[in-house]
């Protein structure tokens, strides 16, 4: 099953006999709170207009657990809570799911990764997000029939801190954050700047074209090959700040035909533990 879907394909499938469940995951990382300004309100944006039939899910409260000491800023949600939210949105295992966000792709990819990791067989990201949708929008909030999806943790695909450190030594661990955060030049969110020793800088922003859509699969494959990806199972991992933009890199890798694991705790978890080593500068070590 493809990992992405175009706006025209979504419009066609939504008009068919078995339309997909569509989930709106609008969210953005904002430093506005630190400056005293209100943070982005994804639900308010959804209510102003969304893809017809789409149901809103909140990344911070439904696709992540409570942040706490040693857990990172967007830890995994409790599976019972995640399942309840997904079923309330109409998600069932025997029905396709399409997720989208405002266009950045990070939040939609987090939903895609969670659904895939917990066993949903058919979930795709709207390539380019809402910005790519040229059909009508609606403001009505739908009340879908409850779904039946029961999420179960996947046997593979998830890294913890020790697993990420090991993969940085034995395989390829990609850091999806901006290069300046990887180098430690600046760190606007977490305790300290830098990267996991051995990790390779691979900003996820470089996986998209100017129109916000993912680059073609062949281009992505070439990029990841140049960074050291061999395609061998279990040999590629990704982390970011808190397991959101990293999910977008996992998505790009999937489009390129490369399976990758996600360190959900990411830098927010790693850097919070002062006993863990921190590397700075452009060199992985």
Query: For 74-103, how does the pLDDT look when each residue is reduced to its tens digit (9 = 90+)?
Result: 999 999 999 999 999 999 999 999 999 999
- 111 and 223: one domain? no
Catalytic residue ranges: 240
Residue with the larger pLDDT of the pair 30 and 264: 264
Q: Which of 43, 51, 66 is nearest to 14 (CA)?
A: 51
> How far is 165 from 126, CA to CA, in rounded Å?
32
Domain count, the chain: 2
Q: What is the pTM of this model?
A: 0.95
pLDDT of 81 reads 97
Residue-level pLDDT at 69: 75
pLDDT tens for each residue of 174-207: 999 999 999 999 998 889 999 999 999 999 999 9
180 and 231 part of one domain: yes
- Domain shared by 87 and 15, yes or no: yes
Same domain, 120 and 176: no
Write the Ramachandran bin of 49: left for phi over 0, alpha for psi from -120 to 50, otherwise beta: left
Whole-number pLDDT of residue 139: 97
Position 55 scores a pLDDT of 98
Residues 227, 120, single domain; the answer is: no
Sheet with strand 21-24: strands edge to edge: 4-5, 123-126, 97-100, 21-24, 55-56
Q: Is residue 97 part of a domain?
A: yes
> Which pLDDT score is estimated for 30?
61
- Residue 101 in domain: yes
Strand pairing partners for 126?
5
CATH number at residue 184: 3.40.250.10
- 146 in a structural domain: no
Under 8 Å CB-to-CB from 223, ≥6 apart: which residues? Answer: 202, 206, 207, 215, 256
Q: Which domain holds residue 35?
A: 4-132
Burial class (CB in 10 A: 0-12, 13-18, 19+), 285: exposed
- The reply to whether 88 falls in a domain is yes
Kindly state whether residues 10 and 128 are assigned to the same domain.
yes
Residue 143 domain-assigned (yes or no): no
Residue 248 shares a structural domain with residue 190: yes
The answer to the question of residue 151 being in a domain is: no
SS3 category, 181: helix
Q: Which pLDDT does position 38 carry in this prediction?
A: 66
Give the model confidence (pLDDT) of 21-76 as tens digits: 999 999 987 654 445 556 788 999 999 999 999 999 999 999 999 887 778 899 99
User: Is residue 283 in some structural domain?
Assistant: no
Residues 163, 235: one domain?
yes
| 18 within domain boundaries | yes
DSSP state, 35?
Answer: G
């Amino acid at each position: 099953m493809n990992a992405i879907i175009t706006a025209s394909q979504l419009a066609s499938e939504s008009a068919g006999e078995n339309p997909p469940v569509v989930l709106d995951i609008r969210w953005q990382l904002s430093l506005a709170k630190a400056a005293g300004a209100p943070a982005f309100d994804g639900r308010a944006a959804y209510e102003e207009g969304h893809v017809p039939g789409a149901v809103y899910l909140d990344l911070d409260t439904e696709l992540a657990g409570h942040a706490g000491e040693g857990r990172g800023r967007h830890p995994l949600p409790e599976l019972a809570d995640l399942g309840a939210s997904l079923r309330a949105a109409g998600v069932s295992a025997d029905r396709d799911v399409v997720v989208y966000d405002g266009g950045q792709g990070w939040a939609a990819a987090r939903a895609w990764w969670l659904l895939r990791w917990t066993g949903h067989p058919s979930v795709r990201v709207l390539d380019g997000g809402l910005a790519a949708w040229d059909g009508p929008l609606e403001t009505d909030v739908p009340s879908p029939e409850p779904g039946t999806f029961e999420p179960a943790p996947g046997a593979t695909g998830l890294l913890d801190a020790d697993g990420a450190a090991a993969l940085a030594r034995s395989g390829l661990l990609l850091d999806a954050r901006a290069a300046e955060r990887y180098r430690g030049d600046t760190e606007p969110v977490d305790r300290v700047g830098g990267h996991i020793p051995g990790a390779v800088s691979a900003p996820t922003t470089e996986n998209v074209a100017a129109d916000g859509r993912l680059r073609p699969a062949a281009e992505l494959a070439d990029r990841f090959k140049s960074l050291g990806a061999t395609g061998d199972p279990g040999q590629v991992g990704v982390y970011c700040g808190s397991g959101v933009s990293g999910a977008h890199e996992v998505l790009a890798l999937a489009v390129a035909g490369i399976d990758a694991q996600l360190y959900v705790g990411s830098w927010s978890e790693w850097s919070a533990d002062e006993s863990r080593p921190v590397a700075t500068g452009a060199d992985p070590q």
